Amino acid sequence: MKEKRRYGKAVYFISSNINKFYEVREVLNEFGLSTVLLRLRKVEVQSDSIEEVARRSAELTAKELGLNVVTEDAGLFIKALNGFPGPYSSYVYRTLGNQGILKLMEGVDERDAEFRSAVAFAEPEGEVKVFVGVVKGEIARKIASGRKFGFDPIFVPVGCGGKTFAELDVREKNKVSHRGIAFRKFAEWYTSLLKLKFK
């Protein structure tokens, strides 16, 4: 007998990063969805594309757990460094940190950068959907105080009065952030799917 797929108001988000969870929970809540964090490391996928990393890790994890899951791969892309650290953001944050990035940017006037997020939804047997969000901004000249999540203290998004992401609260950040944009796209798609299923 064909197993019935389960769609529900709870979204299983696979991530080792608690700061991501705080942000995602807020966004999905606006759509009446609750976020269940499965605090696992994403399956390691080697790729230069964040979309591909999110897609493959969601696909593999959904199969392994037998659950519909969501994963996200995100990164900071700095124009003057040809997009570095990009897909290697996690490693670079752990090794160089914000101080290391500011050092690489010493004497560089071109400060343009962007954060990108790719959110993937996978079912154990179904096709994978990917949603992308981008926010443009600049690399600050010094490390700001405030919330300490990754590169937030050195990233100044456009349209937020010159504040870094670290100086915005979660709600303010979600309004403009790569993750907020990508998860809103996912939530719009997912809630319309739920309406179809439960009509």
Residues that bind ligand ITT (CB under 6 A): 15-17, 20, 41-42, 72-75, 89-90, 93, 115, 149-152, 165, 177, 179
> Minimal distance in Å, beta carbon 181 to ligand ITT?
11
- Looking at beta carbons, which residue is closest to ligand ITT? 150
Of the pair 45, 194, the CB lying nearest ligand ITT is at: 45
Q: Is the dihedral of CA 142, 143, 146, 147 positive or negative?
A: positive
Of the pair 75, 183, the CB lying nearest ligand ITT is at: 75
Q: Which residues pair with 50 in a beta bridge?
A: none
SS (HEC) of the chain: CCCCCCCCCEEEEECCCHHHHHHHHHHHHCCCCEEEEECCCCCCCCCCCHHHHHHHHHHHHHHHHCCCEEEEEEEEEEHHHCCEEHHHHHHHHHHCHHHHHHHHCCCCCCCEEEEEEEEEEECCCCCCEEEEEEEEEEECCCCCCCCCCCCHHHEEECCCCCCCHHHCCHHHHHHHCHHHHHHHHHHHHHHHHHHHHCC
> Minimal distance in Å, beta carbon 151 to ligand ITT?
4
Of the pair 41, 171, the CB lying nearest ligand ITT is at: 41
- Is-contact 131 186, C-beta < 8 A? yes
> Minimal distance in Å, beta carbon 55 to ligand ITT?
13
Of the pair 134, 192, the CB lying nearest ligand ITT is at: 134
> Minimal distance in Å, beta carbon 50 to ligand ITT?
7
Active-site annotation holds for 73: yes
Of the pair 16, 99, the CB lying nearest ligand ITT is at: 16
Q: Which of 48, 73, 112, 169 is catalytic?
A: 73
> Minimal distance in Å, beta carbon 89 to ligand ITT?
3
Q: Which residues are catalytic?
A: 73
